[in-house]
Amino acid sequence: MLKKEISAVLRKSESWGWVLEPDAQKIFSLYGFKIPRYGVATRGEQALAIARAIGYPVAAKIVSPAIVHKSDVKGVVLNIRDDATLLATLARLQTLDGFAGMLIAEMVRGLELIIGAKNDVQFGPMILVGLGGVGVEIYKDVSLRMAPLKSRDVDNMLEELTARKLLAGYRGAEPVNLAALKKTLLSFSKLMMDLQDRVESVDLNPVMCTAKSCTVVDSRIMLKK
């Protein structure tokens, strides 16, 4: 059973076919995923209040039903360190197509992974994990399984990645908390089974993983037509 808030968000998003980032983040947070602290502003004083509450540096991202790929329109600005840059960013984002707000979020660091799902016609929900970031479709270092994932499936998926050495802590870097990553994948698989009638595909990209935890930094939910 879907929680009421989630059903409401999905219904609202149907008219443009995908879920806006703040709403998607809300869904993941309701399902117990760790997400960065964030707020959405349309005006300057709002933006400043949110940024100060979170504490600089922050990331700012366009919220618009017309813009699925935010980076393509320079709709993502990272590492904003002061009020002036924040306000200038807001002024620029306000001019983009369909501006509905600017999402201001805590900057999170870690190993960039992608966790995704696709509702396959023949096999139903499929879960993907791999090396994330903007290069994901270039390196294609991903592993794919049919949901619901069993614990053994998750182990095999991570073992299959070329990036498994990065997860284990490559050349002195801290290893990623594999238990947290595994837990994230298992809850994601469960969520996708719950959402399979409504959702076409999902990208959590990036998911930032550290020695402590995995945080869903950006998410996109495409709905079934």
Partner 1 sequence: MNLKPLFEPRTLAVIGVSSTNERHPANVIFEKNNHRYPVEVFGVNPRGGKLHDEPLFERIGDVPKKIDLAVIAARADFVPDILAQCIDAGVKSAAVISGGFSEGGRADLQERMAAIAREAKFPFIGPNCLGLFVPFRVDTFFLPIERMIKPSPGNVAFVSQSGGILVDQMIKFTQQGVGMSKAVSIGNKALVREIDLLKYLLTDPATRVIAFYVEGFGAGEGREFVLAADCSPKPVILMKSGKSEAGHRAVSSHTASLAGDYTSFAAAVAQHNIIEAADEQELVSFCEVLSSYTQPIEGKIGIITGSGGHGAMAVDACAAANLTVPAFAAELQDRLRGQLTENVRSIASVGNPVDLTGSAVDDDFVACAKILAEAPEVDCLVVLLLPYLPGVTLDIGVRLSQVQKQFRKPIVAYVPHVEKYNMMIDGFELNGTPVSPSIEGAVLMAKALARKKPC
By CB under 8 A, residue 128 contacts partner 1: yes
By CB under 8 A, residue 121 contacts partner 1: yes
State which of positions 22-51 bind partner 1 (CB under 8 A).
Answer: none
- Of 27-35, 95-103, 119-127, 209-217, the segment contacting partner 1 by CB under 8 A is 119-127
Q: Minimum distance between the CB of residue 74 and partner 1, rounded to whole angstroms?
A: 19
By CB under 8 A, residue 21 contacts partner 1: no
By CB under 8 A, residue 194 contacts partner 1: no
By CB under 8 A, residue 224 contacts partner 1: no
Tokens of 103: 């999402």
Binding mask 45-84 for partner 1 (x = CB under 8 A): -----------------------xx---------------
Q: Which is nearer to partner 1, 215 or 219 (CB)?
A: 219
**How would DSSP label each residue in the chain?**
---HHHHHHHHHHTTTTEE-HHHHHHHHHHTT-----EEEESSHHHHHHHHHHH-SSEEEEEE-TT-S-TGGGT-EEEEE-SHHHHHHHHHHHTTSTT--EEEEEE---SEEEEEEEEEETTTEEEEEEEE-STTHHHH--EEEEESSPPHHHHHHHHHH-TTHHHHT--TTPPPP-HHHHHHHHHHHHHHHHHHTTTEEEEEEEEEEE-SS-EEE--EEEEEP-
Residue from 5, 14, 97, 120 that binds partner 1 (CB under 8 A)? 120
Chain residues that interact with partner 1, rule: CB under 8 A: 18, 68-69, 114, 116-118, 120-124, 126, 128, 130, 136-137, 140, 142-146, 153, 200-203, 205, 220, 222
